[in-house]
Chains A and B, each alone.
Chain A
């Protein structure tokens, strides 16, 4: 044999630079290898806390994103009709002066006429601060159309949420139940965690109508009917109550289950009984007398009654022991057999109580009680958009937290653990600020957690103060705003008209809007005066997305390897359950185009507008660019964008004066920093005195704030009381019934609003996010689009067989508000009344520098055309938003359709004309 000799030790690269990925929202650490100054290879950073060296399909394809032909090249100004694609290239000075000439008069006369909304950015600490300085109430990011139900349901209940803000105790959990997740923000951590569970044979249960991905490897699959997760969860709660398998000690010590509820008819009914200082009361088992919940050494009694008042626990028992939540009563509706529901409840109880674990670790709780051990319930859950993107999603998220809590399975070893800055209860968050005063900043942050009707963002005449109607009676707890309503409301002039719509990285003319075709018309329609109904649109994006064609001014952003970013504790950090963490991006390559990082542009605009905080005393720009801001901006004295290497010499953690070398220190450390939580503070954090001290020390908050998990939600009850006619702040008549139902202070299930049209539209229609694509971004990537360049409408066997579908067929899909024709495929591992497709594969022709005949644009399709931003008119003529009535979350997954076979076709419908090209069509890859 003559084997050729080969070089098995080639040089990997000339240089390796470590930064943070941005191929999705996961924020993994990456090693970017360079050869001759060009990116040659990207791999995961082994030392990084998020991904520990691994990297997903998107991350490993980043090289194709930074060289994509879809990258915008320089600022553009519209010169022809909107949507025609007639743009001229202009300089940055011209672009910024033009933006200022539009914005400055608005700030001086009516700041609310600027609406600034951001999409998948990771710089909300900056963008919200900027909008606050401008003085418009009309700011939010995209949480309203993403998953605010999970955030709000979590914050109002456990002072933390799913998303990436907590995670199962992957190293200790023995039973993991996943609800409504195909892929999530915490993409690699979930995969790493599942790998750990699989390696040691822990049981994974998937609750999802679709058996794909994570649910495919689940040991047990519950192919639930969409929108009924809350009902299944409450049936599990029923079983656990029925059998007495609940963690009474945990409920008594750490939740509001022992608090006494006022039973007197009137404005206080259902609120907590309080002492003269306003502190809610429990009955202390040692004395049998009322005591403040947080009193030293108090032992709350779950079963107490006092002067007619009962505890929350008794109200819970009364509700959840009701036969209407028995598995037999919900089985048909959920599409899950009653014996399987009972088996799951039994397994939850068995693992939580019979396989309980403990860590020998001394700790002290907020009542001053010392504990020798940290007992743990090794049952964990994760859930996301599948349960939350329904009009009952908020209450469903609350129900899941209820289930966790009665098992003692939050913040205990083996269960679900929060990551700093969480735990943080709703009461520790701001309330919304919304009063626009010409020439002045807003008095505080836009977004917050409403505690009572008086805090709604309403004008004196009772109309919504915000363009998206966030924090109004229609959706009182809309903590993330309602980005999906902005264009429709601005177009309708309801509640008022705006002048300039300023969007960042949000594809509102395509996959991020409901009723997409109509939205495109709203963006191009003119009024009787010949002006556009939405007069001015400024858009910033790195790529030639569908939205670009509808803007008047384009501010081209950089790619993620060409920019500074800050992923910090003021926004969405990269913390772990046992460490606060943050990270940065820095320009590992320089742009080869005339583009600028949006955050630097925003600071430049702020300086040109002389916004408070953005100009020095002499009127010059306060910050050179975003990097300068990251290092030098202080939100409170000593607290800034990053927690690592603070203080002049870089020795301080969390709090400390700015350090001019801070970014260099981050870069030396792989672009991240971790502040580790002491051993005794790593569990039971909301109640753990040592954690509270640590959190204050590093600046998460300024005083210790222990709290109880809110099984009974007083904020919700206050809205229910208003709906019942109590109090000065009263809802419109047509919303009373909805508020009484949806603002129930104990988790409840009600049918999603989409059910109203169920008769003619018997089939549920869903989307899932592929693990190898991030929303609309993936299709411009030469590698990723080869992995998933087409989407099909997947049909279950029941529908496939009944209509005689064959391979190559298309189906007409009709909803109450629209119709599409789409290619189909057969998928047996699917709930029998559900169809689905991959999210955002369908593209508008000529967008993203793709060929007009690209499969994404020809056979690809969106379900968005079938979803209206408004529900059909009710009997009283009102059309409600297609959103959760508590938070305003877009109810994407309430969609009901009917399916008809149309036989073979060669393209999907509707067909839109190709977009004008703002960058040349891509031909070869770099």
Chain B
């Protein structure tokens, strides 16, 4: 049993815009690429050229078909990674203290030196956001690129998670939800950002900006310039060019 901090100074997290995400998987590869050589053990791939390849990914994008009450069925791309919950059950369930939430910024991390790979945290997480690396035997999860966001070897503009830096549509936003004037707080407010499955009581930090209403185009038809069938081409030409 591991304790959560009573308070975190910051609540760093992501606002993910589902109205803009095209499901291109750029964030998935960017995350894999950075974290394969970044914090902790690398992200291994089992059977990479075989029948059932299976590797560790800290971020995955799924696609869903959603039928609204009225109108055509929609497709929604849905990126999924750790939500850095305030009441993170993956932390409290950890028997060794390896899983913890940072007091300074709220990032949920795994101390791999203390992780015994028991998998309890993955079982406790209602979002499926943790993956046990089969080669390293330790639990891997989104670190919000803790080795990028404070990294003084990177230009300041690049001190954001790899998924955010890479996102071609700009659908992923990184910031501090504890600051009501931060980019992510503002976006979430303006766009009605939602927490995922709040009924689980996990108090996620990340927010999803819901898709805007679709298929609303209903402009009235243009008024004809006259009755073409009655007046023919000559009449139409007179009307359209008459003012010239």
Contact = CB atoms under 8 A, between A and B. Distances in A.
Given A54-B168, A60-B26, A321-B233, 10 more contacts: A8-B147, A43-B166, A54-B165, A239-B221, A303-B237, A343-B221, A346-B219, A772-B25, A829-B75, A854-B49
B55 interface: yes
A782 B49 contact: yes
Interface residues of A, number: 104
B186 interface: no
Interface stretch (B82-90, B122-130, B150-158, B197-205): B150-158
Interface string A850-872: 11011100100000000000000
Nearest to A31: B158
B50 A41 contact: no
Nearest to B51: A853
- Binding site of B, secondary structure by majority: helix, strand, loop or mixed? loop
Nearest to A70: B49
Contacts of A785: 48, 53
Contact of B24 (A196, A771, A829): A771
B25 A219 contact: no
Interface string B142-173: 00001101111110011000100111111100
A355 interface: no
Given A61-B32, A829-B65, A198 B151 contact: no
A239 B153 CA distance: 59
Contacts of B162: 43
B29 A6 contact: no
B50 A8 contact: no
Nearest to A199: B170
B222 interface: yes
B45 interface: yes
B33 A922 contact: no
A317 B50 CA distance: 61
Contact of A55 (B166, B228, B241): B166
Contact of B146 (A1, A6, A303, A344): A6
Residue of A44, A192, A221 ringed by the most chain B CB atoms within 10 A: A221
Given A1-B3, A244-B225, A922-B48, A213 B29 contact: no
A60 B30 CA distance: 5
B230 interface: no
B26 A219 contact: no
21 contacts: A3-B102, A3-B103, A8-B147, A41-B37, A54-B165, A59-B29, A61-B29, A195-B170, A198-B19, A219-B215, A242-B222, A317-B233, A321-B228, A321-B236, A343-B218, A343-B219, A346-B221, A829-B74, A921-B49, A924-B48, A925-B45
Given A10-B147, A61-B29, A785-B53, A194 B217 contact: no
A395 to B, nearest CB: 23
Contact of A213 (B22, B153, B244): B22
B222 A782 contact: no
Contact of B241 (A61, A221, A248, A851): A248
Contact of B26 (A3, A54, A217, A853): A54
A10 B151 contact: yes
Interface in B33-61: 33-34, 37-39, 45, 47-55, 57
Interface string A394-425: 00000000000000000000000000000000
A780 B50 CA distance: 10
B225 A243 contact: yes
A771 B28 CA distance: 12
Nearest to B143: A6
Interface of B: 3, 5, 17, 19-26, 28-30, 32-34, 37-39, 45, 47-55, 57, 63, 65, 67, 72-77, 97, 100, 102-103, 109, 111, 113-114, 146-147, 149-154, 157-158, 162, 165-171, 211-212, 214-225, 228-229, 233, 236-237, 239-241, 244
A220 B216 contact: yes
Nearest to A797: B73
B49 A850 contact: yes
Given A8-B147, A219-B217, A771 B22 contact: yes
A211 B73 contact: yes
Contact of A9 (B32, B50, B76, B153): B153
Given A8-B150, A851-B49, A211 B74 contact: yes
Most A C-beta atoms less than 10 A away, residue of B25, B114, B162: B25
Contact of A41 (B34, B47, B211): B34
A509 B102 CA distance: 55
A7 to B, nearest CB: 7
B19 A314 contact: no
B225 A242 contact: yes
A812 interface: no
A302 interface: yes
A188 interface: yes
A782 B146 contact: no
A242 B222 CA distance: 8
A240 interface: yes
Contact of A855 (B51, B165, B222): B51
Residue among B74, B215, B217, B223 facing the most chain A CB atoms (10 A cut-off): B217
A12 B39 CA distance: 11
A503 B212 CA distance: 48
Which 3 pairs from chain A and chain B are nearest by CB? Answer: A922-B49, A191-B168, A243-B222
Contacts of B74: 211, 216, 221, 829
Nearest to A11: B153
Given A4-B113, A925-B48, A345 B26 contact: no
Contacts of A520: none
A317 B224 CA distance: 14
A60 B169 contact: no
